Structure 1
């Protein structure tokens, strides 16, 4: 294989439609390393950015990518065009602890009651 085939040009698309990249990554790069790169390049003006690798989900060709896989493992023969840019969608998940903080004093925020007269 030539050196250009061992590289993949990736652009990360955020939920608001803006992009990070494109940037070249070796085929042996792990998905976790891609996520670390996203955290490092996250736009400062955007609120609720990811803090850790666990806060990010990467989606490519309709599949959620696992942290232990490599870029080469995630390639899709139908979507990747040689010499083209691969777009991966970035979803930032709100940490579970922040979700639980919304109703700290309310014992059952979704309680429903009915009265028949």
Structure 2
């Protein structure tokens, strides 16, 4: 980590970094972002493609992602209104590190499971 990043972390006690990572690393954010990497989607399509997410949790996740500038929400003036969600360039920039993290988790899952089983057996 370079000097600038170290100062940012220490400058506010790491609060900014923790707040951003809390949002990005929550249970649903990466799944929603990865789903939107396929392209622009409507709420219902997102809801069907993100397994296990409730409508309320999807709504909250989308609001936070929009607030943080990772997605855009476009409302089309139609009857009924059509709302679409898409990644912003910032949201798109999250895909490579998210894929790297997912790859790491997949590669190390067997070892982690073994360690968990050994720990539980003690």
Bigger share in helix? 2
Structure with higher strand content: 1
TM-score of Structure 1 vs Structure 2, range by shorter chain: under 0.3
Greater relative contact order: 1 or 2 (C-alpha under 8 angstroms, separation 6 or more)?
1
Q: When the two structures are superposed, what TM-score results if normalisation uses the length of structure 1?
A: 0.23
